[in-house]
Structure 1
Amino acid sequence: MGSNSPQPLVSIVTPVYNGAEHLAECIESIFAQTYQNWDYTIINNCSADASAEVARRFAAKDSRIRIHENEKFLRVIPNHNVALRQISPASKYCKFVFADDWIFPECLERMVAVAEEHPSAGIVGAYGLRGRQVMWTGLPYPSDVISGREVCRKLYLENLYVFGTPNSLLFRSALVQSRDPFYNESNLHADSETCCALLKSCDFGFVHQVLTFTRERPGSLTEFTDDMNTLIVGRLHDLVTHGPDHLTREEFEICLDRKLSEYYEFLARSLVQGRDKKFWDYHKRKLNDAGVGFNRTRLARATLAMLCDAALNPKDTVERLLKRGDVRTGSTFVRGLQRNSNTR
C-alpha cells in the first residue's frame, strides 16, 4: 500500500464464552496494532462470568468496538459462523482473534500488506506461537504467496499443514460473505475443510513472521479430540472431499491408500487397547460418512501386521501402544481449540 493510500477496513471478531480471565489481554492486543483501520465485534456466547463486563468496559473507550449478545448458547463452530456474520459490509478483510489468545502488534499490518500486494490471495497466514513452540512452518522463504492448488497439494502429498487456526488467518471479507455458513457445522475440523474449499479459486498468502499467539489450556474438547483422534478423521474427510480437485487421479488413489493405512494402523492399536463401543461407533460412522466404509478385513490385516511387528520389536511396539493415536502434528480448527473450548 502506498503511504497516501487509504487503509482498507479490517473487521475483527472475538467469540467468547466464560473467557474473562484472558479477554482483556486479547482486546489490548487489538488496541496495540500498528494498523488502525479496524472495527471489532465481541460475540458474547451467554457467558456466566465477567466476560460481558470486560467487553463493555473496552467498548466504552472506543466506538470501533461493539458487543453482540447471543440469545442462546451455541456450540463452538456455529458460534464462529455467527461471529463472521457480524463483519462490516464495508470491510475488505476480516480476522478472528480468540478470547484467550492475542496477536502481535504488526499482525494486521503485515497480513494486509501481503493481501494488498497479491489480489489473488484470498487467505493470508503466518507463523504462530503456540505456548513456546513456533508453528506452521515449512513454506519456502521468502515467497509470500503460493497458489491455492499447490498449498493443498503439499497438504495431501507432504502432510504440510500451514493453515494454522482461524486465529492465525486473515480472510478476504468477500469470500466469507459468499459462504453462509462459512464453516461446516458438522465437522470439528471445519477450518481446514474451508481452506481446502476456498483455495480452489484463490491463492494463499503467507507472512514469514510470528504474528499470533495461541494459548495452550487442557479442556474437555481437547480431551475428546485427542482421545478419539478426530484429526485423522478430519484429514481423511478433507482428502476425500477436496483431494480430487487438487490431485491427479493416480495421486489421489495413492494418498487415499496411505491415509487409510495410517487410519487402520491407529484402529489396530485401538483394538489391542480394548477401546469401547462409543469409540468404534464413532469411527465406523466417520468412515461411512467419508464414503470409504469400515473394512473389517483391512483392520484384521493391520492388527496382524502390528502383532508380528510386536513379536520382532517388542520394546518399540509397547511404547507405541501406550499412546492413543499418533496423528497429532499440524493444526486444525480443533488445534485452535487446544485450550478450553468454553472460551469460545
Structure 2
Amino acid sequence: MRSKSAFPLVVIATPVYNGEKYLADTIACVQSLDYPNLVHVILDNASTDATPEIIAQHANGRVPILSHRNPSTIPMAANFNAVLNLLPAEAGYFRLLCADDLMTTDSIRRQIELAEQHPDVVAVGCLEYSDHLRDENIPRNQTVFDGISIIRAYLREDNTVFSGTHFLFRRSLIDMSRSFYDENLLPYLDAEAALRACLHNNLAFIHEGLAIRRIHDSNAYDVHVKLGFALLDRLQILVRYGPIVLEQEEYRHRLVQQRRRYIRRLLRLRWFERDKATFSNHLERLSATGHPARWFDFADAVADWAFLAMAGRRHLARGKT
C-alpha cells in the first residue's frame, strides 16, 4: 500500500463570505473525499454570520483545515486570489471549491489520476450537476484536448467547457507576481483563468458529473448573469484571445455580433427593466476595456435586431451567431 506522501498534495481552496447556510455541507464533502493527501484551505472574508463557528466545528476532521480570516471584507474576486496565496508550497495541485458547491467522493482521485497520466495537461475538468447534468458539448470519446483547439471552439460558442469552477489545476500555474483570477471580470473570472491556463498547454476532461453546483437566489454567478455581466465578460475574453486563436476575418465577425448582442442587453436593462444603476455600471466597465459604447453602437444593435426580426431570425439576436 502506498503511503500518503506518495500521492501529490492537493489543496481544496474555499473562499467564503456569510456561508452559514451551505458551508457545513461543503466542508463535510471535502472530509469525505477518498483521495489520501488533502488539505482544505478556507478563507473567511470577514463574515458576519456563523461562518467562523462552522469552520471551528470541523477543525479535527480527517482532512486538515487551514483557516484564515480577512480583517475586513474584500471583493469576491480578490478573495479568490487571496485564498490561493495561502496554498502550502508543497502542494502539487489545487481545486477551488466555492462555499456553496459540492463534489463527488471520488472526484479528486479521478482528476489526479488523469493529470498524472498526462504531464502536458495543466487543468482537468468534469461535468457538473445543477438542476440537471450539464453537457459541455465536447467529444465524449476524447479525454485530452489541445489547448488552442478547445479555446477556439469555446470562442465560437461550440462548447462551454471553460464555464465553471470545477477544474483541478497544477500548482505551478500560480505566479505570485500576478493574480490567477482576473479581478476585472465577474461571472467569467474562473472561465478566463482556465482558458488562460490552456493557452499553451493541454486540457483533460472527465465526461461524468463529479461536481455539484447548488442553485439559490444569492448565488453570485447567477446574479451576475441575470444582470448581463456574463455578456460583458464573454466580450472581454473574445477581445483578449480572439486575435490569438481565430482568423482575422472570423474574429472581426464574432466581435461585431457579440458586441451587438451585449448592447441590446444594455438597452433592455435601461428601458425595459429600468435598472439605471446597473446600466451605468456596465458603461463604466465597458469604457475601462478601451471599447466604450457610443450612440451609433446602440443604433447599430437595434437596426441589426430589426433586420433579424424581419428575416425571421430573431433567435440569433440572443443566441449563437
Who is 2:97 aligned against? Answer: 97
Map of 1:200-219 to 2, 5 A cutoff? 200-219=199-218
Q: Would the aligned equivalents of 2:261 and 2:301 in 1 still touch at CA under 8 Å? A: no
Could you report, residue by residue, the CA deviation over 1:65-105 in whole angstroms, capped at 9, with x for unpaired residues? 22112222122111111111111111110011222211101
TM-superposed CA distance for 1:108, in Å, is 0.3
Counterpart CA distance in 1 for 2:43 and 2:219 is: 22
TM-superposed CA distance for 1:142, in Å, is 2.3
TM-superposed CA distance for 1:199, in Å, is 1.7
Who is 2:180 aligned against? Answer: 182
TM-superposed CA distance for 1:227, in Å, is 4.6
Instruction: Report the residue type matching 1:182 in the other structure.
Output: F
Map of 1:111-260 to 2, 5 A cutoff? 111-130=111-130, 132-166=131-165, 168-177=166-175, 180-188=178-186, 189-219=188-218, 221=220, 225-260=224-259
2:49 maps to 1:49: yes
Instruction: Report the residue type matching 2:29 in the other structure.
Output: S
| Alpha-carbon spacing, 1:312–1:205, altered in 2? closer, same or farther (3 Å) | closer
Instruction: Report the residue type matching 1:96 in the other structure.
Output: L
Where do 5+ consecutive residues of structure 1 fail to align?
330-344
2:57 maps to 1:40: no
Task: Give me the TM-score of the superposition, normalised by structure 2.
Answer: 0.88
Counterpart CA distance in 1 for 2:16 and 2:297 is: 43
Q: Would the aligned equivalents of 1:136 and 1:164 in 2 still touch at CA under 8 Å? A: no
Could you report, residue by residue, the CA deviation over 1:79-138 in whole angstroms, capped at 9, with x for unpaired residues? 1111111111111100112222111011001111111111111111100011x2112421
Could you report, residue by residue, the CA deviation over 1:218-240 in whole angstroms, capped at 9, with x for unpaired residues? 12846752453011100000010
Partner of 1:89, secondary structure, is coil
TM-superposed CA distance for 1:216, in Å, is 0.6
Aligned residues: 317
CA RMSD of aligned residues (A): 2.9
Who is 1:281 aligned against? Answer: 280
Counterpart CA distance in 1 for 2:184 and 2:224 is: 14
| Alpha-carbon spacing, 1:126–1:257, altered in 2? closer, same or farther (3 Å) | same
Counterpart CA distance in 2 for 1:297 and 1:260 is: 12
Map of 1:19-34 to 2, 5 A cutoff? 19-34=19-34
Counterpart CA distance in 2 for 1:9 and 1:55 is: 21
Could you report, residue by residue, the CA deviation over 1:309-331 in whole angstroms, capped at 9, with x for unpaired residues? 77898xx98xx9xxxx957x9xx
Q: Percent identity at matched positions?
A: 26
Instruction: Report the residue type matching 2:94 in the other structure.
Output: C
Could you report, residue by residue, the CA deviation over 1:131-175 in whole angstroms, capped at 9, with x for unpaired residues? x21124211012111111111101111342112322x11110110
Counterpart CA distance in 2 for 1:118 and 1:80 is: 27
Partner of 1:60, secondary structure, is coil
Counterpart CA distance in 2 for 1:83 and 1:157 is: 32
Q: Would the aligned equivalents of 2:133 and 2:209 in 1 still touch at CA under 8 Å? A: yes
Q: Which has the higher contact order (CA 8 A, sep 6+)?
A: 1
Q: Would the aligned equivalents of 1:269 and 1:303 in 2 still touch at CA under 8 Å? A: no
Could you report, residue by residue, the CA deviation over 1:43-65 in whole angstroms, capped at 9, with x for unpaired residues? 12222222212211211234722
Counterpart CA distance in 1 for 2:61 and 2:310 is: 67
Q: Which moved more, 1:98-107 or 1:181-190?
A: 181-190
Q: Would the aligned equivalents of 1:193 and 1:238 in 2 still touch at CA under 8 Å? A: yes
Counterpart CA distance in 2 for 1:160 and 1:174 is: 26
Partner of 1:56, secondary structure, is helix
Who is 1:86 aligned against? Answer: 86
Counterpart CA distance in 2 for 1:56 and 1:298 is: 53
Instruction: Report the residue type matching 1:185 in the other structure.
Output: E
TM-superposed CA distance for 1:304, in Å, is 3.9
Could you report, residue by residue, the CA deviation over 1:202-261 in whole angstroms, capped at 9, with x for unpaired residues? 111101111011111112846752453011100000010122122222221122122123
Partner of 2:205, secondary structure, is strand
Q: Which moved more, 1:147-156 or 1:296-305?
A: 296-305
Partner of 1:212, secondary structure, is strand
Instruction: Report the residue type matching 2:126 in the other structure.
Output: A
Who is 1:337 aligned against? Answer: none
Counterpart CA distance in 2 for 1:179 and 1:163 is: 24
Partner of 2:174, secondary structure, is helix
Instruction: Report the residue type matching 1:128 in the other structure.
Output: E
Counterpart CA distance in 2 for 1:213 and 1:67 is: 23
